Amino acid sequence: MPIRIEPAELKGQIKVPPSKSISHRAIICAGLAQGLSRIENIVMSQDILATVEGMTALGANIRVVEEAAIPGAGGDQGQILEIKGIGYPQTAKKIIDCRESGSTLRFLLPLASLTGQAVTFEGKGRLKERPLAEYYRIFDEQGVKYANNRGFLPLTVQGSLYPGEFSLRGDVSSQFISGLLFALPLLDGDSRLHITTEVQSEGYIHLTLDVLHKFGIEVEQTSPQEFRIKGNQRYKAASYKVEGDYSQAAFWIVAAVIGGRIDCLDLRPQSLQADRAIVEIVKEMGGDIRFKQDILSARRTSTYGTTIDASQCPDLVPVLAVLASLSQGTTRIVNAGRLRLKESDRLKAIASELNKLGAQVQELEEGLEIEGVESLKGGVEVDSWNDHRIAMALAVASLRCQQAVTLTGFEAVSKSYPNFWDDFKMLGGRMQ
């Protein structure tokens, strides 16, 4: 059933959900560690559940030991996981259901190959179509057996990587690089990983290196495109608290700037998250946004068009398209072609749905060109395209519509932010 969203101003304080990107990485590292780890501030979105179940399938023991209410977060719960790691991947379950999580699939594939057993990866929706050619090439080079459905899921892998020289493209997805960085330290010998192209979403690789370090794994990055990884390393158990997620905070920041006043809690000012770029992008467009310790405050401001390079922060594009639609002048979003391979074709999806609302968005091959308008019209039905970020972006856009907006597929937010609508209402959103 669709929901109806009335125009409104969002005001108040929100505790930003924990970083999904960091949560994936911490759960994997803890699952590979020898001993007992404690991971604080986890929200069990569909993507995180996929990684928890995937690591359980590889032998880790993971349980929720505590739930702590997060003040000011619309009833959201921050869970604490206790993870007894396995030291080295084992086959506890031969099927891993990645749901729609590209991170789960690409992070766990190299680890599954280390078991020496046949492991089958399944998935839903557009995940079945997400490219895996970079791994297939490495598997071919190393004699790892695999079988798939005409190049796509389900995928069965059997065999083991061996140490040595690895090369990957850096302009498809940084997830391939991170996946190898999880696995290569466990091999019986040293390896070198060379990136053959310009690296996109480089910030996500830095996140991986940081979390690896916290769990006792050292990787030497000798240049932006080369990594040296010592073999025979062992992950060490640790206590780890996940910081707030800038990619989720971005929706509240834009909601405030287009018409409201919101304080976002639990955002580390010096975070390594690539999506921290939202702060500088909004400032460049004239937005009133400032930090006081770990509280980011955003206020309604007139904003102006600019050129946004999305190569390092593609997840921000849907909500930035909303901001651009309500900014004076022209905004160009460039280097965003990879968004066509996400949960939806996000360039087509956000252009289509914003134009229904009265925006002026032109879809380009590798980005968007947006001419700002004073306000959006609304009064129509829009579709999330079963994509969590499209759903949340359209919710933000509805705030500046002249009439109510009907949104179908609102449930898609469960993939990354299950309590988004609770938080939306808590801040003053009006929906039924």
CB 339 within 8 A of CB 387: no
DSSP state, 429? -
Same structural domain for residues 288 and 144?
Answer: no
Same structural domain for residues 278 and 138?
Answer: no
Of the residues 97, 263, 266, 315, only one is catalytic, namely: 315
Sign for the CA dihedral angle at 345, 350, 353, 355 comes to negative
Q: CA–CA separation, 54 vs 58, rounded Å?
A: 6
Of 241, 256, 271, the one marking the end of a domain is 241
Tens of pLDDT, residues 249-293: 999 999 999 999 999 999 999 999 999 999 999 999 999 999 988
- Other CB atoms within a 10 A radius of the CB of residue 134 amount to 20
Q: Which of residues 300 and 172 earns the better pLDDT score? A: 300
Same structural domain for residues 47 and 144?
Answer: yes
Same structural domain for residues 202 and 311?
Answer: no
Spell out where 218-364 has E strands: 219-223, 226-229, 239-241, 260-265, 288-292, 295-299, 307-309, 330-334, 360-364
Same structural domain for residues 317 and 216?
Answer: no
Hunting for tokens 């690896």 — which residue is that?
Answer: 212
Q: CA–CA separation, 306 vs 55, rounded Å?
A: 42
Q: CA–CA separation, 426 vs 263, rounded Å?
A: 13
CB 244 within 8 A of CB 22: no
Q: What is the CATH number of the domain that holds 424?
A: 3.65.10.10
Same structural domain for residues 233 and 262?
Answer: no
Which pLDDT score is estimated for 199? 87
Same structural domain for residues 224 and 237?
Answer: yes
Which pLDDT score is estimated for 265? 95
Mean pLDDT calculated for residue range 99-122:
96
Hunting for tokens 């007139």 — which residue is that?
Answer: 302
Mean pLDDT calculated for residue range 81-91:
95
Q: How confident is the model at residue 200 (pLDDT cuts 50, 70, 90)?
A: confident
Same structural domain for residues 137 and 286?
Answer: no
DSSP, collapsed to helix, strand or coil, labels residue 179 as helix
For 48, the token pair is 């995180």
Q: CA–CA separation, 318 vs 390, rounded Å?
A: 6
Residue among 372, 353, 325 at smallest CA distance from 5: 353
Residue among 121, 127, 228, 129 at smallest CA distance from 185: 228
Of 188, 209, 241, the one marking the end of a domain is 241
Same structural domain for residues 283 and 372?
Answer: yes
- What are the residue ranges of helices labelled H in 310-412? 317-325, 346-356, 388-398
CB 339 within 8 A of CB 317: yes
Supply the angle between the helices 133-142 and 174-183 in degrees, to the nearest 10: 40
In single-letter form, the type of residue at position 278 comes to I
Residue among 412, 353, 359 at smallest CA distance from 383: 353
Same structural domain for residues 221 and 235?
Answer: yes
Tens of pLDDT, residues 25-35: 999 999 999 99
Q: Is 383 a catalytic residue?
A: no
Residue 72, pLDDT above cutoff 50 = no
Same structural domain for residues 272 and 353?
Answer: yes
Supply the angle between the helices 246-259 and 20-32 in degrees, to the nearest 10: 170
Burial of 68 (0-12, 13-18, 19+ CB in 10 A): exposed
Residue among 209, 27, 158 at smallest CA distance from 101: 27
Same structural domain for residues 225 and 310?
Answer: no
Of 208, 241, 274, the one marking the end of a domain is 241
Tens of pLDDT, residues 348-398: 999 999 999 999 999 999 999 999 999 999 999 999 999 999 999 999 999
Supply the angle between the helices 317-325 and 346-356 in degrees, to the nearest 10: 30
Q: How confident is the model at residue 67 (pLDDT cuts 50, 70, 90)?
A: low
Domain count, the chain: 2
In single-letter form, the type of residue at position 117 comes to Q
Hunting for tokens 């969203």 — which residue is that?
Answer: 5
Domain containing 312: what range?
A: 3-16+244-431
Residue 69, pLDDT above cutoff 60 = no
